[in-house]
Structure 1
Amino acid sequence: MRALTVVPDKPGSLDVGSVADPRPGPGELLVRGVALGVCGTDKEIARGEYGWAPPGRDRLVLGHESLGRVLTPAGGFAEGDLVVGVVRRPDPVPCGACAAGEFDMCRNGRYTERGIKERDGYGSELWTVEADYAVRLDPRLADVGMLMEPTTVVAKAWEQIQRVGERAWFEPRRVLVTGAGPIGLLAALLGTQRGLDVHVLDRVADGPKPGLVKALGATYHHDPVDRVLAALRPDVVVEATGVGSLVFDAMAGTASYGIVCLTGVSPAGRSLTVDAGSLNRDLVLENDVVIGSVNANLRHYHAAADALARADLGWLSGLITRRVPLGRAAEAFDAGEDDVKVVIALPGD
């Protein structure tokens, strides 16, 4: 079969080549790949900045935003079921969090991840997955189900926001999402599903993003962040850019008892001048909270599956701005001017 592989730490090693067909073990599904989403992590691995091959191997099968159909069922799944595979696996020790099923909160870093860390990903014509780490999707999501993994990230973020907020009376009304990439737009989707007044801030003024936000019933902004924050005073900020200056502006610009959830990863090596005393004073005196959120466990996958099943299919389709075949997968790693989500179509569906 064909697969999208890379040599971690080696820039320019991205390749579509032949690998052995997988054989499902006990309790595993054999799945025919349908599509694969491409995200910033995949691009970092392709640039040689990140990633680990399976032990004893040089190449890693890339891809963690999966979508496929079951060929050989197991564990309550049926042939033809539309499924995605969970990305992370608990560490083998395990730590207390992994032992409790909260492997997204692994304490010792010995977890593994499909397509990222020491386990082959889902970027192949066929793949296997343990039935316990597969999640069934509504059949209506056959064209957009590869959005499941990024939706799990924001499902976890909203869960964490809710848990933090409920340390006291908590009825948020207004949320600002910074960044209108896939994570930001999906965070906005879940915000509207919660009945909140959702605002999205991004630097572009045209292209598909403003229309996607408007179609949610949310409000799009491209003014300077300090102006937007001053006008809105949001109860919640979901930060999805990783831009350092935006992070600190968000921390200083919420309403009292505000919660800022960071989902974007900032690049290292950049310095900012921050009035740490003023920021600390505001956080303490207003009972504000800043939390980071990354990855997802099985609970978040099921929450994401429910959220996608409730979403408008036309809107979800609008997030996918380019589809390329597996044979031209390298094109998915070159950013287009109006790209939101780029998808690699795998043969067989």
Structure 2
Amino acid sequence: MKAITVIPGRPDQVRVSDLDEPTPGPDDLLVEGRLLGICGTDTDIVEGHDYGWPPPGRERLVIGHESLGTVIQAPPGTPFAPGDLVAGMVRRPDPVPCEPCGHGEPDFCRNGLYTERGIKELDGYGSQRWVVDTQYAIKLDPGLGDCGVLLEPASVLAKAWEQSERIFSRATWRPKVALVTGAGPIGLLAALMGVQRGLEVHVLDLHDRGPRRRLVTDLGAAFHVGELGDLDVVPDVVMECTGHGPLVFGLAERVAPDAVICLLGIMPAAHPAEARLDEINKQMVLKNTVVFGSVNASRRNFEQAADALSKADRGWLTRMITRRIPMRDFADGLHKHPDDVKVVVDLQV
């Protein structure tokens, strides 16, 4: 069996390795890998931005956390059957467990002892066949086809929107205008879910390249190019998908009263910038502004994401996948071409 393996922090050590076939346990699905999505986390792992840990006692990690596959074998008495289209969840609860992990919310793990497929101490989904416990498998609408590979990033946005809506429940009013910063895959999925909620959605990006403008406008959202200061929009809710610190500080001064800003991006390098912290603090206090970070997702969020994708236009989702590469080209796929949105690996080639 072929698998994409890496030594975290060693870009010269990305390879397609021959591994033993996986052996499913009594509660596991045996899955034929179909597609693997590539995201910035994979780049961070390979290039060594203080991220990525192989399983204990090993040097190499099977990479990949954005999965899609077809069930080969399923335990009897479960909701799964051979031929089902599935994706695997990423995070596993810590062994202690902490309170959130003990209640099925490892995305809120409090002690950091969680593990993650393809990221932290567990092999990922970048292999021609993989196994996953049924409790961490998500059955997808078969009509999604290859677009099912978008489930994991979509789950991150499902959680972000869910948490934002919980914060908005503190008052009687509800948001009408949403701003998404960054028009990459996460930003586009954030915009999709904002439109599905009936919001007036604006997407801001530094560049107008490739299919991004058309993808945004075909949702019925507005696409803007430039800096935050060029934008004549006062949002009630923001999905910040760039991880650019100065932008975060700028947003705190530009949002409407009682706004919620969800931070979803992380930049690997520090970019020093001046910020009027006293004024930002003043504005946040006087406007009841909430800024919060969100990472990963629970099973509930994966299921919400599966529902959101099933309701989306299939043609639009298909256009998000702009490049499909064989396993041997994984290292090249880490570096986006100008027209790329989502790059995926064909695990059978």
Once the two structures are superposed, residues 74-125 of structure 1 have per-residue CA deviations (whole angstroms, 9 ceiling, x without a partner) of 2321000000000000000000111111110000000000000000000000
Pick aligned residue for 1:184 from 183, 187, 209: 187
Once the two structures are superposed, residues 116-173 of structure 1 have per-residue CA deviations (whole angstroms, 9 ceiling, x without a partner) of 0000000000000000000000001112111000000000000110011111113110
Per-residue deviation, 1:33: 0.2
Q: Give the aligned partner of residue 112 of structure 2.
A: 109
Contact 2:246–2:275 (Cα < 8 Å) also in 1: no
Q: Give the aligned partner of residue 148 of structure 2.
A: 145
Distance 2:302 2:87 in 1: 9
Contact 1:235–1:258 (Cα < 8 Å) also in 2: yes
Determine helix, strand or coil for the equivalent of 1:334.
Answer: coil
Contact 2:34–2:346 (Cα < 8 Å) also in 1: yes
Determine helix, strand or coil for the equivalent of 1:66.
Answer: strand
Q: Give the aligned partner of residue 24 of structure 1.
A: 24
Q: Give the aligned partner of residue 41 of structure 1.
A: 41
Pick aligned residue for 2:166 from 152, 163, 167: 163
Q: Give the aligned partner of residue 135 of structure 1.
A: 138
Taking the TM superposition and a 5 Å limit, the aligned residue runs for 1:219-230 are 219-228=222-231
Identity across aligned pairs (percent)? 53
Q: Give the aligned partner of residue 9 of structure 1.
A: 9
The answer to whether 1:93 aligns with 2:96 is: yes
Q: Mean Cα displacement is larger for which, 27-36 or 8-17?
A: 8-17
Contact 1:12–1:47 (Cα < 8 Å) also in 2: no
Contact 2:44–2:268 (Cα < 8 Å) also in 1: no
Q: Give the aligned partner of residue 85 of structure 2.
A: 82
Taking the TM superposition and a 5 Å limit, the aligned residue runs for 1:305-344 are 305-344=306-345
Distance 2:177 2:17 in 1: 48
Per-residue deviation, 1:329: 2.3
Contact 1:35–1:66 (Cα < 8 Å) also in 2: yes
Q: Which runs of 5+ in 2 are unaligned?
A: none
Determine helix, strand or coil for the equivalent of 1:34.
Answer: strand
Contact 2:243–2:266 (Cα < 8 Å) also in 1: yes
Q: Mean Cα displacement is larger for which, 121-130 or 333-342?
A: 333-342
Distance 1:110 1:242 in 2: 24
Contact 1:174–1:234 (Cα < 8 Å) also in 2: yes
The answer to whether 1:216 aligns with 2:211 is: no
Per-residue deviation, 1:268: 4.5
Q: What is the aligned residue count?
A: 346
Determine helix, strand or coil for the equivalent of 2:12.
Answer: coil
Q: Give the aligned partner of residue 125 of structure 1.
A: 128
Per-residue deviation, 1:9: 3.0
Q: Mean Cα displacement is larger for which, 49-58 or 113-122?
A: 49-58
Distance 1:217 1:269 in 2: 35
The answer to whether 1:54 aligns with 2:66 is: no
RMSD: 1.1
Distance 1:12 1:248 in 2: 37
Distance 1:343 1:108 in 2: 33
Distance 1:301 1:36 in 2: 17
Distance 2:35 2:112 in 1: 29
Q: Which runs of 5+ in 1 are unaligned?
A: none
